[in-house]
Structure formats: structure tokens, C-alpha cells
Amino acid sequence: MEFLTSTGQKILFYFIIFSILFYLLMKYLRKKGHEYFSQSYWEGRYGYFTQQMDWYTNFTQLNKDFKIDEIIKENFYSKPHQINILELGCGNSTMSFNLYNLGYKNITAIDFSYNVISQMKKTYENTSINYMQCDFNKLNEYFNKNEFNLIIEKAGLDSIATKDSPEVPEKLISIYEKIYYVLKNNGIVLSMSSKNPNFWKGNVFSKLEERKLFKCIQIKRTTFSTQHNPIQMNLYFYYLKKIE
């Protein structure tokens, strides 16, 4: 660093280095966003990576922080365990199985990866959980109108939201239109996302309310870390109700 003879030169040098690293990071994240958007990426991932993994954090922690079981029972207090539940983008998460163990037996879990659905069918063959290969962009083609009471997802919609493209908000709104179609009139959506509320409220939820589809009832935040990344990160909980 002897060639940097002044404080100004050093500041400029570090600024350039930081700018280059930031550019490379953004380029990498944009690439990952496009990968998460691709079915072939997930087929490949679950083809070689079969170990169970919960994105962000496990259901036990989510239920503790966000009171998922309480919300379900508050909305469907008469016969909560008879409701029909749909999990979007299940991957090899244990969330549907955890709900099953809480007494919810009418559960359908979907993912567009054939590999992971095959694995989950085998893993939970002794339960009544219905694992299906299905693209949640086409829910109205796979399910009947007003079929489900609750739709729950964790990181599924994030696989689309991470794509760096101006078309993403409308893509998410389109998926919520499909969700609206398959959800009963008293139905709710519970969504867990790493995307902050400014993105969801400004680009998606406000439009859903304008179109009289969904109203966001509650937003909560928790933090999580992983074995490979000990830094605490934000996870947001979005609770929406269908507008009748």
C-alpha cells in the first residue's frame, strides 16, 4: 500500500474495491434469484441434496414466534382440525408434518420438483398428507374453487420475489389471484418471507386490497440464524384474509 501516498488516495482506493465487491455480490444475487425461479434448478438440487432442510428456521420456532396454531384455531374455532390446508412450495420441509402432528389431517403439500415430491411421499407414506407435484402458478388448474381453508407457505414465494425483475410484483399478484380462487370465503393465508414489509406492502398487498382480493391483517418479525450463517437475519410473517 506504499503507492497510496495520501489519505484521499486511500479512501478512493477502498471505495473502488468496495464498489467492485458490491457489484459482484449483486450480480451473484441476481443470478441466484433467476436460479430459484427455475424448475430445473430445484430438480437438480433435490436430485443430489436429499438431506431434510427447513428454509430459514423450523416450524417449532415459527409456531412459537408467530402463534400459527393459535391463529388457525381462532379463525376456525368450531372444527379447526377438519379444515383443508394447502402448503405451497413444501420442498423437504417438515412444516406439513408438524401441522399433521398438531392434529390437522387434511393437508396437501405441493412443490414443482418431481424429485422432492417423490422423496416426501416415501418419507411420510404412513400419514394422510397428500404430496403433489404442482406449479403454484397453476393452482386453478389442479384444484377446485373454494377448496382450502388455509394456505401456508415459507420461502416458496421468495423463490419468485428474489428475481431481480420489474415483472416480479405482477407475477406474485397473479399467484395470489390463483390462491384466491382455491381459497374458501373465510380463508386465510400465512406467509413467511425474508423480504421486508416495504416490498410486500408497497408492491403486492396494496394491489391485492385495491382489487378486493386480500387484506393484510398482521405483520410480525423474528430473527433467525443457521449453522452455516450465525448472523441474525430477519424473517417476516404475513397474515392475510380473503376479502369476500
Domain span at residue 224? 37-242
Nearest CA-CA partner of 131 in 82, 96, 181, 177: 96
Dihedrals phi, psi of 91, to nearest 5 degrees: 55, -140
Whole-number pLDDT of residue 55: 77
- pLDDT tens per residue, range 44-66: 666 666 676 787 889 999 999 99
Maximal C-alpha separation, the chain? 76
> CATH no. for residue 175?
3.40.50.150
Residue 214 burial (C-beta neighbours within 10 Å; 0-12, 13-18, 19+): buried
196 within a domain of the structure (yes/no) = yes
Please give the Cα distance from 111 to 133 (Å, whole number).
5
Please check the confidence at residue 15 and state whether its pLDDT lies above 70.
no
Q: Does 10 fall in a domain?
A: no
Q: Which of 1-5, 194-198, 237-241 has the highest mean pLDDT?
A: 237-241
140-147: Cβ within 8 A, 24+ apart: 140/178, 140/181, 140/182, 142/110, 143/86, 143/182, 144/182, 145/181, 145/182, 146/182, 146/183, 146/184, 146/185, 147/84, 147/86, 147/182, 147/183, 147/184
* pLDDT score for 29: 43
Is 147 contained in some domain?
yes
- Taking the model in full, what pTM does it have? 0.82
Model confidence at 239, pLDDT cuts 50, 70, 90, reads very high
Backbone φ and ψ of 191, nearest 5°: -125, 135
Residue percentage of the chain with pLDDT more than 70: 77
- Calpha distance 125→243 (Å, rounded): 36
Q: Look at residue 95 and tell me whether its pLDDT is greater than 70.
A: yes
Q: Is residue 198 part of a domain?
A: yes
Structure confidence at residue 53 (pLDDT)? 72
Looking at the domain assignment, is residue 201 inside a domain? yes
Q: How far apart are CA 1 and CA 51, in angstroms?
A: 46
pLDDT 10s digits, 145-157: 999 999 999 988 9
- Condensed to tens digits (0 to 9), the pLDDT of residues 183-234 reads 999 999 999 999 999 999 999 999 999 999 999 999 999 998 876 667 888 9
Q: What is the number of structural domains in the chain? A: 1
Torsional class of 58: left (φ above 0), alpha (ψ -120 to 50), beta (otherwise): beta
Q: How far apart are CA 114 and CA 160, in angstroms?
A: 19
Residues contacting 67, CB < 8 A, separation 6+: none
CA 72 to chain centroid: 18
Q: How much is the pLDDT for 244?
A: 86
